[in-house]
Amino acid sequence: MSSINETPNGWMKTTLGEIVDTANTGLDAIKRAPIVEEETGIKCFRIQDASQKKKYKNWGNTQVEDKNYQKFKLLEGDILIARTGNTIGVNHLVKEDIKSVFNNGLIRLRVNDKCDYTFLYKIIESRLFDRYVQSIAYGTSTQPNMQINVLLGFDLLLPPIDEQKAIAKILTAFDDKIENLHAQNKTLENTTQTIFKEWFGKYQIADKLPEAWRVGKLGEVTKICGGTTPSTKNPDFWSGEIHWTSPKDLSNSKEMFLLSTEKKITEKGLNKISSGLLPKNTLLLSSRAPVGYLSFTNIELAINQGFIALLPNEYLSNQYMYLWLSLFMKVVENAANGSTFLEISKSSFRNIDCIVPDKKSLQNFDNIVNPLFEKVLSNLEQIQALEQTRDTLLPKLMSGSIRVSDFKE
Grade residue 36 by pLDDT with cuts at 50, 70 and 90: low
32 burial via Cβ count (<10 Å: 0-12, 13-18, 19+):
middle
Grade residue 29 by pLDDT with cuts at 50, 70 and 90: low
pLDDT of residue 254: 85
CATH code, 214-356: 3.90.220.20
CA distances from 194 to 188, 189, 201, 318 (A): 10, 9, 9, 17
Task: Summarize the confidence of residues 34-47 as an average pLDDT.
Answer: 79
pLDDT of residue 37: 62
pLDDT of residue 15: 96
Grade residue 7 by pLDDT with cuts at 50, 70 and 90: confident
Tell me which long-range contacts 321-328 makes (C-beta under 8 A, separation of at least 24): 321/222, 321/283, 322/256, 322/283, 322/294, 322/296, 323/192, 323/193, 323/196, 323/201, 323/369, 324/196, 324/200, 324/354, 325/285, 325/294, 326/193, 326/294, 327/193, 327/196, 327/197, 327/201
CA geometry: angle 385, 388, 391, nearest 5 deg: 145
Asked whether residue 30 carries a pLDDT value surpassing 60, the answer given is: no
91 forms beta bridges with 81
pLDDT digits (tens, 9 = 90+) for 274-291: 999 999 999 999 999 899
113 forms beta bridges with none
pLDDT digits (tens, 9 = 90+) for 136-150: 999 887 788 999 999
Q: What is the DSSP string of 82-136?
A: E-BSTTTT-EEE--S--SEEEBTTEEEEEE-TTS-HHHHHHHHTSHHHHHHHHHH
pLDDT digits (tens, 9 = 90+) for 54-89: 999 999 888 888 898 999 999 999 999 999 998 999
**Contact yes or no for 188/372 (Cβ under 8 A):** yes
Asked whether residue 3 carries a pLDDT value surpassing 70, the answer given is: no
pLDDT digits (tens, 9 = 90+) for 320-349: 999 999 999 999 999 999 877 889 999 999
pLDDT of residue 69: 92
pLDDT of residue 28: 82
pLDDT of residue 1: 31
Average pLDDT over all residues of the chain: 93
Same topology between domain 12-158 and domain 214-356: yes
Every domain of the chain and the residues it spans:
12-158, 214-356
Asked whether residue 33 carries a pLDDT value surpassing 70, the answer given is: no
Task: Summarize the confidence of residues 302-313 as an average pLDDT.
Answer: 97
Q: Beta strand pairing status for 100-102 and 106-111?
A: unpaired
Asked whether residue 31 carries a pLDDT value surpassing 70, the answer given is: no
**Contact yes or no for 320/361 (Cβ under 8 A):** no
Task: Summarize the confidence of residues 4-33 as an average pLDDT.
Answer: 83
Grade residue 408 by pLDDT with cuts at 50, 70 and 90: low
238 forms beta bridges with 265
Of 304, 267, 296, whose CA–CA distance to 279 is shortest? 296
Asked whether residue 261 carries a pLDDT value surpassing 70, the answer given is: yes
**Contact yes or no for 136/146 (Cβ under 8 A):** yes
To the nearest whole percent, how much of the chain has pLDDT over 90?
84
Asked whether residue 4 carries a pLDDT value surpassing 50, the answer given is: no
Task: Summarize the confidence of residues 390-400 as an average pLDDT.
Answer: 93
pLDDT digits (tens, 9 = 90+) for 88-138: 999 999 999 999 999 999 999 999 999 999 999 999 999 999 999 999 999
Phi, psi of 356 (to 5 degrees): -115, 105
85 vs 308, higher pLDDT: 308
Report the alpha-carbon distance of residue 195 to residue 277 in Å, rounded. 32
**The CATH number of domain 12-158, selected from 3.30.1490.20, 3.40.50.1010, 3.90.220.20, 3.40.50.720:** 3.90.220.20
Report the alpha-carbon distance of residue 183 to residue 262 in Å, rounded. 25
pLDDT of residue 404: 86
Task: Summarize the confidence of residues 236-242 as an average pLDDT.
Answer: 97
